Amino acid sequence: MNQRRRRIYEGKAKILYEGPEPGTVVVHFKDDATAFNAEKKAVIEGKGVLNNRISEFIFERLNDLGLPTHFVKRLNMREQLVREVEIIPLEVIVRNIAAGSMAKRLGIEEGTALPRSIIEFCYKNDELGDPLIAEEHITAFGWASPQEIDDIMAMTIRINDFMSGMFAAIGIKLVDFKIEFGRQYEGDLVRTILADEISPDSCRLWDMKTSEKMDKDRFRRDLGGLVEAYQEVARRLGILNENDQGKPSKPTLVKS
Ligand code: TMP
């Protein structure tokens, strides 16, 4: 008899289920797309499958580099097994080229290369719309300790260096991205590890030659062609072959 899995949490694009062993969680990638704090919503068939694959690919490479992440293994088309963490309530944003909210806030033209990469923090709180904060807020309100902030900064710089190179090698500019970290408890020890996902939902990716957007801005800005753009990212990363559309209806991808 099939047993019902315990649902731990449902977010805008993912569902978390209790994992098969203590300390593990199953992440299910939905096809739901939201923007502007869920004011705009749609279901985009195939998005979850592609994000599961792309995030798996990037987290595996980061694990290989010795960067600690929550990723254990992909389970099937839409799901991956991860280590359970307590999410640190910060959205860490890295910017290499001015775009999005920073371009708007500071009146900088989108596409302007930044003289150095900029790391921003937002407080992860949907009710407040994830407001931009300073490091002082983080320590004053105890959202993360100074040691955790140091670890996050060091890992974030490594992740940006690695990902910028990885995408440049396939003709894509890594404009900016958002990552999240968690606390992994092991007996008396707690360590900070990369959690959540890295996918075209959480990055801005521009084609180097044409500057075409290959990320969730296609949905935010009503440009269309989101799945095709994510497929192209996956194809260039070498994780989809030519007939592989990243859609569950295609028999080629039904195997896990
Ligand atoms: P922003 O320019 O809108 O602040 O976005 C910066 C980066 O963070 C961009 O790559 C998209 C990503 N992002 C998320 O992953 N989740 C969000 O809720 C927002 C607002 C941005």
Look over the chain and give the mean of its residue pLDDT values, rounded to a whole number: 94
Residue 110 and residue 69 share a domain: no
DSSP class of 165: H
Residue 136 and residue 103 share a domain: yes
The encoded tokens of residue 13 equal 């694009």
Higher pLDDT, 249 or 242: 242
Q: Ligand 1 atom closest to Cα of 175?
A: 10
Judged by DSSP in three states, 72 sits in strand
CA distance 85 to 70: 8
Report yes or no on 162 lying in a domain. yes
C-beta of 203 in contact with ligand 1 (< 6 A): yes
Asked if residue 80 lies in contact with residue 74, where contact means CB atoms within 8 angstroms, the answer is yes
In CATH, what number is assigned to the domain containing residue 180? 3.30.470.20
Report yes or no on 140 lying in a domain. yes
Q: pLDDT confidence of 252, banded at 50, 70, 90?
A: very low
Of all protein residues, the one whose alpha carbon is nearest to atom 18 of ligand 1 is: 37
**Domain of residue 37, residue span:** 2-85+225-237
Residue 251: the pLDDT is 42
Based on DSSP, count helices (H) and strands (E) in the chain, helices before strands. Answer: 6, 14
Instruction: Please choose, from the candidates 208, 232, 235, the residue with its C-alpha nearest in 3D space to the C-alpha of residue 218.
Output: 232
Cα(99) to centroid of ligand 1, in Å?
10
pLDDT in tens, 63-107: 999 999 999 999 999 999 999 999 999 999 999 999 999 999 999
pLDDT in tens, 135-155: 999 999 999 999 999 999 999
Residue 71 and residue 37 share a domain: yes
Report yes or no on 214 lying in a domain. no
CA distance 68 to 190: 12
The encoded tokens of residue 1 equal 């008899």
Which helix (H) or strand (E) element contains residue 100? Answer: helix 100-106
CA distance 180 to 198: 9
C-beta of 57 in contact with ligand 1 (< 6 A): no
CA angle at residue 209 from 204 to 214, to 5 degrees? 30
Q: pLDDT confidence of 4, banded at 50, 70, 90?
A: confident
Which helix (H) or strand (E) element contains residue 87? Answer: strand 86-87
| Total number of domains constituting the chain | 2
Pocket perturbation via mutation, ligand 1, pick of 34, 58, 93, 179 by most ligand atoms within 8 A of CB:
93
C-beta of 178 in contact with ligand 1 (< 6 A): yes
pTM equals 0.94
Q: Ligand 1 atom closest to Cα of 202?
A: 15
DSSP class of 213: B
Residue 91 and residue 63 share a domain: no
Residue 61 and residue 94 share a domain: no
